């Protein structure tokens, strides 16, 4: 039996000053809510977001480079609707290769980090 029981959150890196862009992306486009960071962690910058059974933390990284291979794979309930909303905001969706039981593809967050979107079918 595994000692690992789940994932509490995923942290994505962003450059200094990226908080407004992260908020627009994760709240306005992806539909999450911002969660206040504890004061002793807020001094480091960054911001946290949460939704139903998901938590994304965006942390400031001094020598920021976007993650283009490593990525979170987020489950969504209506991929076509989300892709349309993202497209209107200028965010490109790249359909993924076939994977049984899913329709999927990739987007990039405002900082170039790869985000996979997956809908169970």
- Give the DSSP per-residue string, 65-106: ---SSS--EEE-S-HHHHHHHHHHTT---EEPPPBTTEEEEE
User: Into which CATH architecture does domain 10-120 fall?
Assistant: Roll (3.10)
- Regions of the chain where pLDDT drops below 50: none
Residue ranges per structural domain of the chain = 10-120
pLDDT, one tens digit per residue, over 65-79 is: 999 999 999 999 999
Cα atoms in the 13 Å half-sphere on the side-chain side of 24? 11
pLDDT for position 119: 97
pLDDT for position 103: 97
pLDDT for position 37: 96
- Phi then psi dihedrals of residue 115, to 5 deg: -130, 120
pLDDT for position 1: 79
pLDDT for position 111: 98
pTM of the model: 0.94
């Amino acid at each position: 039996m595994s000692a690992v029981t789940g994932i509490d959150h995923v942290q994505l890196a962003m450059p200094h000053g990226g908080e407004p862009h992260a908020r627009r992306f994760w709240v306005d486009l992806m539909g999450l809510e911002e969660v206040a960071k504890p004061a002793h962690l807020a001094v480091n910058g960054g911001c946290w977001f949460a939704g139903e059974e998901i938590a994304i933390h965006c942390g400031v990284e001094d020598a920021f480079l976007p993650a283009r291979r490593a990525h979170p794979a987020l489950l969504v309930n209506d991929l076509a609707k989300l892709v349309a909303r993202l497209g209107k905001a200028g965010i490109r969706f790249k359909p993924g290769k076939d994977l049984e039981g899913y329709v999927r593809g990739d987007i990039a967050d405002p900082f170039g980090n790869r985000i996979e979107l997956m809908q169970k079918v």
